[in-house]
Amino acid sequence: MTKWNLVLLAGALSAAEPERVVVRPQDSGGALVNPGMGWVFHHYDNGLRNYGANLAPSDTVDEFPGASTVYLRLAWSYIEPEEGHFNWAVVDTPAQRWIVKGKKIALRFTSSETNRDQPYATPEWVRKAGAKGYFYTYGKGIDPQGSNWEPDYDDPIFLEKLDHFLAAAGARYDGNPEVAFIDVGTLGAWGEGHTVPSTGKFYPAATALRQIDLYHKYFPRTLVVVNDDFSIQGRGIELFGHARELGMGFRDDSILVEKPPHSYYHAFLAAPFWPTVAVVLESEHYGSSVKDGAWGDGSLYLKAIEEYHASYASVHWYPREFLKANKELIDKINLRLGYRLQLLEASWPAEVSAASTMLVGYRWRNDGVAPCLPGGHPAITLKDDRGGIAAVFADEEFDMRALPVAEPGKAEAIGRELKKAGERLPQSARPLARFGLPPAAILKPGAYSVFISVGTRTGTPQIALPLKDDDGQHRYKLGVVRVLPAGAIPAETPQSTGDWW
């Protein structure tokens, strides 16, 4: 397809203008699967058996609305059972089941797990190579008779072996577009950055900063996410400033672990992150949260998503069981999680002469809790009566990432508006886009369907919109425009007394 240059209209328009089509689409209310946001299934969690691992290889729970990402949390020992020998199939096999369905994956490699069937999350060969560490009993601290072993995170041998492992993982997965994000996961129990349920041993901020820097070193092109619990055990919150400066995201794994009013603690820590990078929320294991009386009706999960401005939220349980019990809640969360780009209004001339210009306006609102972090540009596509693409006009100067967020239905709308003589447009408005039509030999006279999309600056759709009449490629039909022969004068309408924005 060909992308035609965009020129902004400056100055006033004449008193009589070509008749314009104005449409005001309604939000379809459906769940959206979009880049950089969505529900996260836990395929591996606390070992190899939970939770997606219980599904048949062909089963990817396609009926779950808004699921975009599959989380693979694995102990390092499963992947490098012998030094220098890697079993990447344990990652890539389940990953491909979901990737083939258009999902992305997220990764956490851990060095300490509390299950008795995982005594060595850090491979045992690391200990045998001389790395210092401690046996412990879950919840009781260091115990020479304990079943599980945790490394000393400052030990030079451990750090050397970890460096080699992360170098190999980075060579394989960094910059891979199939990977949504990776956690800083090789510090503390369950990869959460603390040792509360394991050895209870204190580590200073320098230990956590070293881990953060290692992930930045080996995953410079992939979103790396740091856990809120890196700040506990006396370390303070200053290390989050360092993570933020490196462009890392933020996650909280403790939503609804405790009963109200302690359903979560660290929404304030998300504030420096969410305007520019993703925030990931992980709830307590759903069944445990219900059993402990912390889940309630689940509405506090939505409240947390609002307060953290989360782009991702976890399904920390068996996905079908979670869906069956929380369908109404999931539908509500899908209307707010991440970003939701609503087209409030669009306008274009009913008729336009071939090889002339086409003035297009639109007004957009982001009704999600998070900015449209991937960004995206509106594009108008004209199709003939056989569905062929006759023209594409991409608005490079309008980026959806700039749309502000607010409470439901209250975010400020941003648009391209009709500028009249002597009028100053508000900060939230720009002049109509003026697209130059291709020559008549390319865009022949006739009637064309008008589609709108959001995607690359060259007009490729990338973002699903809550609109009807999708062509299957995230272009949405709005109406029709008639292209007249070159030099023909479109029908005019008297000077408007209303707002053409």
Q: Same structural domain for residues 391 and 244?
A: no
Do 218 and 287 fall within a single domain? yes
In a domain, 412, yes or no: yes
493 to 20, 350, 378, 393, 499: CA distances (angstroms): 8, 11, 27, 25, 14
- Sequence-distant (6+) residues with CB within 8 A of 180 are 36, 68, 69, 104, 105, 106, 223, 312
Statement to judge: residues 57 and 25 lie in one domain: no
Q: Which of the residue ranges 44-48, 300-304, 327-331 would you say has the lowest mean pLDDT?
A: 44-48
Residue 290 belongs to some domain of the structure: yes
The confidence score (pLDDT) of residue 443 equals 93
Q: 334, 363, 382: which is the final residue of a domain?
A: 334
**pLDDT-derived band at 12, boundaries 50, 70, 90:** very low
Instruction: Show the domain range for 212.
Output: 38-118+162-334
Residue 117: the pLDDT is 87
Q: Is the pLDDT of residue 289 over 70?
A: yes
Which of the four pLDDT bands, split at 50, 70 and 90, describes residue 498? very low
Q: Is residue 320 located within the same domain as residue 420? A: no
Residues 230 and 101 in one domain: yes
**pLDDT of 491 above 80:** no
**171 and 215 share one domain:** yes
With a cut of 90, say whether residue 353 has pLDDT above it. Answer: yes
269 with 356, same domain: the answer is no
Domain co-membership, 409 together with 302 = no
pLDDT of residue 46: 85
Is 296 part of any domain? yes
Question: What does residue 269 show for φ and ψ, rounded to 5 degrees?
Answer: -70, -20
- Per-residue pLDDT of 141-176, as tens digits, reads 999 999 999 999 999 999 999 999 999 999 999 999
Provide the percentage of residues in the chain whose pLDDT is more than 90: 84
The pLDDT of residue 53 is above 80: yes
Q: What is the rounded average pLDDT of the residues 303-327?
A: 98
pLDDT one-digit tens code per residue, 82-95: 999 999 999 999 99
- Pair (324, 364) in one structural domain: no
User: In this structure, is residue 325 part of a structural domain?
Assistant: yes
Return the structure tokens found at 325: 């019990």
> Can you give the pLDDT at residue 418?
64
Average pLDDT along the chain: 92
Decide if 129 is inside a domain: no
Q: Is there a single domain that holds both residue 325 and residue 263? A: yes
The answer as to whether 260 is a domain residue is: yes
The predicted structure's pLDDT at residue 420: 64
User: Residue 419: what pLDDT?
Assistant: 62
Q: Which residue has the higher pLDDT, 357 or 488?
A: 357
pTM: 0.92
Residue 417 has pLDDT above 80, yes or no: no
| Contact call for residues 344 and 466 (beta carbons, < 8 A) | no
pLDDT at position 278 over 50:
yes
pLDDT at residue 16 is higher than 60? no
CATH code for the domain of 273: 3.20.20.80
CATH, residue 445: 2.70.50
In 292-340, alpha helices (H) = 299-308, 319-325, 327-334
pLDDT at 493 over 50: yes
Spatial contact of 51 and 317, defined as CB atoms under 8 Å apart: yes
Question: What's the structural domain count of the chain?
Answer: 2
Per residue in 216-248, pLDDT (tens digit) is 999 999 999 999 999 999 898 989 999 999 999
Q: 37-64 as b/e, with b when 16 or more CB fall inside 10 Å?
A: bbbbbbbbbbbeebbbeebeeeebbeeb
Query: In this structure, is residue 454 part of a structural domain?
Result: yes
317 pLDDT band, cuts 50/70/90, is: very high
pLDDT at 336 over 50: yes
What is the mean pLDDT of the segment spanning 253-268? 96
pLDDT at 488: 78
- What angle, rounded to 10 degrees, do the helices at 299-308 and 327-334 form? 20
Cis peptide bond N-terminal to 265, omega within 30: no
Same domain, yes or no: 390 and 285: no
pLDDT value at residue 73? 96
Mean pLDDT calculated for residue range 6-14? 37
What pLDDT does 15 receive?
41
> In which band, very low, low, confident or very high, does the pLDDT at 427 lie, cut at 50, 70 and 90?
low
pLDDT of the residue at 13 = 41
Res 500: pLDDT = 34
Q: Which of 334, 358, 391 is the last residue of a domain?
A: 334
Statement to judge: residues 295 and 195 lie in one domain: yes
Among candidate residues 302, 334, 366, the one where a domain is terminated: 334
DSSP readout, 206-266?
HHHHHHHHHHHHH-TTS-EEEEGGGGTTTT-SHHHHHHHHTT-EEEEEEETSS-TT-S-S-
Give a yes or no: residue 148 inside a domain: no
C-alpha to C-alpha distance for 68 and 66, rounded to whole angstroms: 6
- Cis link prior to 261 (omega < 30° from 0)? yes
